[in-house]
Amino acid sequence: MSVLKVNNRQELEMLNIVKLVASYMVVFIHVSFPGQFGIDIVYLARFAVPFFFIVSGYFSYNSFNLKNIKKIDKKIQTTGLLYLESIGFYLVMILCVQRDFGKFNSWLRAGLSGTNFFEWILWNKIPLIELEHLWFIGALLYCYIFMRIIYKYPNLIKLLPFLLIVNYILGEGGQLFNCTEIPEYITRNAWFCGIPCFAIGYLIRKHESTYVICFWNKLSTKTLFIVAMLTEVLVLVEAHTVGMTDLYVFSLVAAVLLFLYGITYKNNLAQRWKKISEIDTGIIYIIHQVVAIFLRIAIEKIHFKYGNMILPILTCLIATMISIGFKYVKKGVRKQIWKSI
């Protein structure tokens, strides 16, 4: 049995495949299957968001470790720009769907008025329901800013376990004690979800050659995957006990295990799996809601009986095709630029 060893940064195809699966889980949270089956899929999918924060924290380690301030600031700038571009993209799409600028303007002003704007800035809660899923990018931006602050004040990292504890007290604790007045965005934000999970990825990268490897050195990657799947079963048990919330204890455990599986998988993948690992999950995340909006319109027009059942699958398939197409368009543009130089 082979022992765990973290792969070279260029040999992370399996991590990319896990990212693709996680991106589909995010789709299933926002575009869910009907009935109890759909609810259970949402429970199982809760590992996906902390997983992506862990990935981001892991790959940000070198920027902070090498004290490359310019690289850190670049991450903040590019993430902030992506956030604004994504919001702008959705606003244009919604305007195209509504085809009524007056109605669109009223909808936009109502969404950004009063406390809504304050909640957006403080809690990453975008006050327009069609854009709510973009909270992740805003939270990721806050993660980079917070880590930039930690660079100057390293003792602040001691607060991170406290932030995660607050999440579970307000989230799972609120469900157990029927505190329905606690809105989900209080726990689903940078402070109590994004930053702690981001820091977990950062710390895994920092200690992977010592504590992480020593801890897992008797496990094969296959065993690690099996344990991760069993943990997902425990997520179902936990969720049916607690009720619906954004972050379960075992969801976070599963996210860490699947991440470790992704970075330690050593077997050579078949060529088709390597191609799959190249799919841009970021594009799927950004566009899946607008894909779902247009699919719902189409399903309503043709009165398709089983539309709600196939909507999540169709959303994943079309978002994936768009992501692949975007990649080839970008590659073609690059070739044209090089030819013209």
Q: At what angle do helices 307-340 and 281-302 cross, to 10 degrees?
A: 130
CA pair distance 37, 328, nearest whole angstrom: 36
Q: What is the DSSP string of 174-186?
A: HHHTT-TTS-GGG
- Mean per-residue pLDDT for 151-156? 82
Mean pLDDT of 276-301: 93
For 219-272, give the DSSP string.
--HHHHHHHHHHHHHHHHHHHHHH-S-S--HHHHHHHHHHHHHHHH--SPPPHH
Residue 313 has pLDDT above 90, yes or no: yes
- Domain-by-domain residue ranges, the chain? 13-340
C-beta separation of 119 from 113 below 8 A: no
Structure tokens at 187: 């726990």
pLDDT tens for 13-63 read: 899 999 999 999 999 999 999 999 999 999 999 999 999 999 999 998 877
Query: What token pair was written down for 7?
Result: 């792969």
Contacts 24+ apart (CB under 8 A), 119-124: 119/185, 123/185, 123/186, 123/189, 123/191, 124/185, 124/188, 124/189, 124/190, 124/194
Kindly tell me the burial class for residue 178, based on how many C-beta atoms sit within 10 Å of its own C-beta (0-12, 13-18, 19 or more): exposed
The Cβ-side half-sphere exposure at 226, using a 13 Å CA radius, reads: 5
Q: Closest Cα partner for 15 from 322, 206, 278, 325?
A: 278
Structure tokens at 39: 């609810």
- 253-to-62, 94, 230 alpha-carbon distances in Å: 24, 37, 11
pLDDT of residue 67: 62
Q: Rounded to whole angstroms, how far apart are CA atoms 87 and 134? A: 8
Cα dihedral across residues 150, 151, 157, 160: positive or negative: positive
Q: Tell me: the pLDDT tens digits for 165-175?
A: 999 999 998 88
* Residue 209 banded pLDDT, cuts 50, 70, 90: confident
Q: DSSP class of residue 1?
A: -
Q: Is 188 helix (H, G, I), strand (E, B) or coil?
A: coil
Q: Contact 15/262 with Cβ under 8 angstroms?
A: yes
What b/e readout covers 227-260, taking b as 16+ CB neighbours within 10 angstroms?
ebeebbeebeebbeebeebbbbbbbbbbbbbbbb
Query: Are 185 and 245 spatial neighbours (Cβ–Cβ below 8 Å)?
Result: no
> Structure pTM?
0.91
* Predicted confidence band of residue 1 (pLDDT cuts 50, 70, 90): very low
Length of the chain: 341
Q: What is the pLDDT of residue 52?
A: 98
What DSSP character marks residue 31?
A: S
Q: Residue 128 in contact with residue 111, Cβ under 8 Å?
A: yes
pLDDT of residue 58: 93
The span from the CA of 4 to the CA of 12, in Å, is 14
Output the average pLDDT for the chain: 86
pLDDT band at 311 (very low <50, low <70, confident <90, very high): very high
The pLDDT of residue 32 is 96
